[in-house]
Structure 1
């Protein structure tokens, strides 16, 4: 439909407006994954829309995988965005080897782009997360895995490709599991430390090929370790 000035007017239903409002609360980070959203009556007040309209919007986002209704408890945020929801539905908690195969391609390209596009702020963040990873050591697996995840997300963000960064962020849970799966092998972890240092150095030096190689070789070594576990 066109208005008097020739502009296209897009009409949306009240349910679509309510769905967009709820989605923004989730994707914008105001409502975090695992958090219970306001009850239906409160949503009616917040949106200024009818109960049936709000209910339809909640159902739509539940079907999309962003929300999850738990009987007797309420409705909770299940995924931060549609990409994460789709990956969870289709892949579930994939085997560590499968996650590493995906990580290898993503992280190599992220490293290549980061070496070309990183800013001074990106470098500060990379150095900070690299130091946190080194400080955590292997005596505190939880802190180590968290620091490792933050380092690799920093690399992905330094690539300044929002699609790549979002895809990598959506894999956080699976990546954490895949990292834990390799911590039992001290020699592999030591080699990984060397490659992480090489990756940081290559990004600092602005060397895309060296950065990509460090990321690729690190994940390839992890895959070999996981393959040996499968053979036992």
Structure 2
């Protein structure tokens, strides 16, 4: 058996990993601008070239985005999510919907089995937001997404949650388009979400499956 010697990470690579860790921990949030180069130089006590190399690496990976004259922004939580988004950007809405359907069917089954009291409170909070939201199709779909993300979290399967969260931007767009094109009545959508919550609350796996199938047909 041949054992490889451990590789010492370069300084730019170390800074890259630290920035990724800050994003993962929510210190640098998705959609927000990260500190300027001088601030990062001061924070990490390294040269400006080291910071630039680290940032450029994350820009190329799709984690960060440089906006001319406006700084550098966080696009995704990590490289995994960046890769998923790159793949989805070349996909049809119908393909995204099919992936969503497969994920959600398994997620609701696990959520009905494993949900905790804390999970139920988060799902109910998101459900209430759906019921009071009377905004645009995009705003309504965002509220809808929060509800389904709370359910994904209640599945207590971190891979399912990360996958669902990674494609959430495209799910949101897909849901908005379907609502706009089909002109589904809000009362029907609201009722189905209530039924799904109640099924998960009661740990009724069969009912949860039946309800998510109805929602996915919308």
Same-fold status (TM-score > 0.5): yes
Q: State the distance in 2 between where 1:134 and 1:74 align.
A: 37
Q: State the distance in 2 between where 1:190 and 1:99 align.
A: 25
* Selected match of 2:101 from 98, 104, 112: 104
Closer, same or farther: CA 49–36 of 1 in aligned 2, 3 Å: same
Closer, same or farther: CA 140–63 of 1 in aligned 2, 3 Å: closer
Q: State the distance in 1 between where 2:213 and 2:154 align.
A: 17
Deviations 1:3-52 (A, max 9, x none): xxxxx976322122111111112222211223222222221111112222
Q: State the distance in 1 between where 2:120 and 2:31 align.
A: 31
* SS of the residue 1:79 aligns to: coil
Q: Is 1:128 equivalent to 2:111 in the alignment?
A: no
Q: State the distance in 2 between where 1:109 and 1:121 align.
A: 20
Q: Is 1:207 equivalent to 2:216 in the alignment?
A: no
* Aligned position for 2:24: 27
Q: Is 1:117 equivalent to 2:123 in the alignment?
A: no
Contact 1:115 1:205 in 2 (8 A): yes
Contact 2:133 2:143 in 1 (8 A): yes
* Selected match of 1:176 from 167, 172, 179: 172
* Selected match of 2:45 from 45, 48, 64: 48
The gaps in structure 2 that reach 5 residues or longer are none
Contact 2:140 2:176 in 1 (8 A): no
Q: State the distance in 2 between where 1:81 and 1:188 align.
A: 37
Contact 1:126 1:200 in 2 (8 A): yes
Q: Is 1:149 equivalent to 2:149 in the alignment?
A: no
Shift of residue 191 of structure 1? Answer: 4.1
Question: Would you say how many aligned residue pairs link Structure 1 and Structure 2?
Answer: 213
Q: State the distance in 1 between where 2:73 and 2:199 align.
A: 42
Which segment is superposed worse, 18-27 or 65-74? Answer: 65-74
Closer, same or farther: CA 15–160 of 1 in aligned 2, 3 Å: same
Closer, same or farther: CA 215–78 of 1 in aligned 2, 3 Å: same
Q: Is 1:217 equivalent to 2:205 in the alignment?
A: no
Shift of residue 136 of structure 1? Answer: 2.0
Q: State the distance in 1 between where 2:153 and 2:60 align.
A: 30
Q: State the distance in 2 between where 1:71 and 1:121 align.
A: 43
Q: Is 1:162 equivalent to 2:158 in the alignment?
A: yes
Contact 1:198 1:214 in 2 (8 A): yes
Q: State the distance in 2 between where 1:182 and 1:103 align.
A: 13
* SS of the residue 1:181 aligns to: helix
